[in-house]
Structure 1
């Protein structure tokens, strides 16, 4: 089932001017603005309580209280642990590996349908812009995605910074950020609170562009993000999948490298010239003997 956020975005063209005001107010501080008392939301938007009631009915709510229950349900869903998910695990076929591969195939198709080409192209342009520094960080598990993306982007262009998970090093990176820079944050359900604190600080003090890669239940970082990529993660098992996130990151790497392929080629050649590759075992021993012999004479 689509989240309320997804429904609002999908129905934008079907909404009246007053309904768009309500939708914009809810999306601006999602989902928290939707949890306000109906009169307070009416005061904020300049729209009557009756209009809000009709609006929530139009987007699939059975009244304002039901609308709020749906939002609360989304918040709870975003905090599900493997223990919670095990209870509703989808039955697997006898050949689990093949069955799981089919589930991932469905998830990848859903990802391709969920993320628009326009948004993907825009993020690629941001990451490829040599005038912008790029900062990356993820949560306890998702930081592996940030690391994977940063390793490849470093070979494509300069000014790529993978922020350490130790918060003592965060001030150095925050102070380095400029308004035109880009911060890519990965955060999936069982969201990491300190990442939201970091995003709020970046938004308030540095005004850098924040690109959030999350799931459909939305990390709290969404409140401070310029771009939000909501990816499918539920494979019907106790463990969420990062297959869609991996595919999305790999697609970014390919397209960013092709934005200015001549520059990418030059960067890779220069990178390879100074890379300290480990020699083969035979080469290592011979080189060591020659160096030691030279030192002795």
Structure 2
């Protein structure tokens, strides 16, 4: 269990001092916990013994054990396919059937990663036509961002997919207005450029960042108001995006169905101006 999950599990049983520590740790997770114990105590106006008692309450043998756990989480977030293959579980029996069973398990786990309340909040945010929606993903995850943006723009207006070239991003940043939404998809082997974009968007343009990431949490989570932590581990050399895709499709269907008359009208208008590049039967 991650440190973040341990803190959230005990949130109702924390003292005022422990709440100060938990807030500081979660605001700059996991880096706040990697500071020396004296620095963490000073930053929270507590004491080193209070910090030690807090991490013991979380189930660790001491502050060093607590920090080793955080370092392990960081390493998990940077594992490459080569490293994943070395610790993968062999597939036995019929390969395709066994592989798809693992994919189904990832999709099933996605239902545990996001509460119904959070799902509804994010659906409402993406459906709010007073907001412009900007979408971008990482090197491997951008197809998920494209899937979201291409479907969402058929449901509502003012949906923009940012290109991969950072030299073009200032144009989009300048378009952003307060309360607009930057939806970022960033899975492990996280991209520093996306984190810098999210920071600039929140600090300079006052937009709301919605992050889709994995259980180890992209650094962008420090700038996000909503975090969708989708399961990706299929015990193979490749991370699986099947759970993340299912979550996106659930959001899109929820938004489209919520005001079907408007969605239907938008799709019909969209199709009426779509350019037809089909074969000319009169040739």
TM bracket (short chain): over 0.9
The residue correspondences of 1:59-74 to structure 2 (distance < 5 A) are 59-74=58-73
Structure 1 partner of 2:114: 115
Q: How far does residue 192 in structure 1 lie from its aligned partner after superposition?
A: 1.0
- Who is 2:164 aligned against? 165
1:27 aligns with 2:26: yes
User: Does the 8 A contact of 1:128 with 1:259 survive in 2?
Assistant: no
Give 1 or 2 for the bigger CA radius of gyration: 1
How big is each residue's C-alpha offset from its partner over 1:217-265, in whole Å with a ceiling of 9 and x where there is no partner?
1111111111111111110001100011110110111011123222111
What CA distance in whole angstroms lies between the structure 2 residues aligned with 1:85 and 1:247? 23
SS in 1 for 2:71: helix
Aligned residues: 283
Q: How far did residue 285 of structure 1 move? A: 4.0
Shift of 1:95: 1.1
Q: Residue 230 of structure 1 aligns with which residue?
A: 229
CA contact 2:106–2:240 (8 Å) conserved in 1 = no
Q: Helix, strand or coil for the counterpart of 1:212? A: strand
Counterpart of 1:130 in structure 2 is 129
8 Å CA contact 2:184, 2:209 repeated in 1: yes
Name stretches of at least 5 consecutive residues in structure 1 with no aligned partner.
289-297
RMSD (CA atoms) = 1.1
- Tell me the CA shift for residue 16 of structure 1: 2.0
The runs of at least 4 aligned residues of structure 1 exceeding 3 Å deviation read: none
Q: Tell me, yes or no, if the aligned pair for 2:173 and 2:201 is still in contact at 8 Å.
A: yes
Counterparts of residues 1-297 of structure 1 (less than 5 Å) = 2-279=1-278, 281=279, 284-286=280-282
CA–CA separation in structure 2 for the residues paired with 1:144 and 1:108? 18
**Match of residue 293 from structure 1:** none
1:206 Cα offset (Å): 0.7
5+ residue gaps, structure 2: none
1:8 deviation in Å? 1.5
- Mapped to 2, the partners of 1:62 and 1:86 lie a distance apart of 31
Q: Output the CA distance in 1 between the equivalents of 2:120 and 2:76.
A: 30
**Structure 2: how far apart are the matches of 1:100 and 1:11?**
36
CA shift for structure 1 position 272: 1.4
Per-residue CA deviations over 1:124-151 (Å, capped at 9, x if unaligned) read: 0000001000000000010100001000
TM-score normalized by the length of structure 1: 0.93
Q: By how many angstroms is 1:11 displaced?
A: 2.2
**TM-score, length basis structure 2:** 0.97
Contact 1:125-1:259 within 8 A present in 2 as well: no
SS at match of 2:228: strand
C-alpha distance in 2 between matches for 1:86 and 1:150: 32
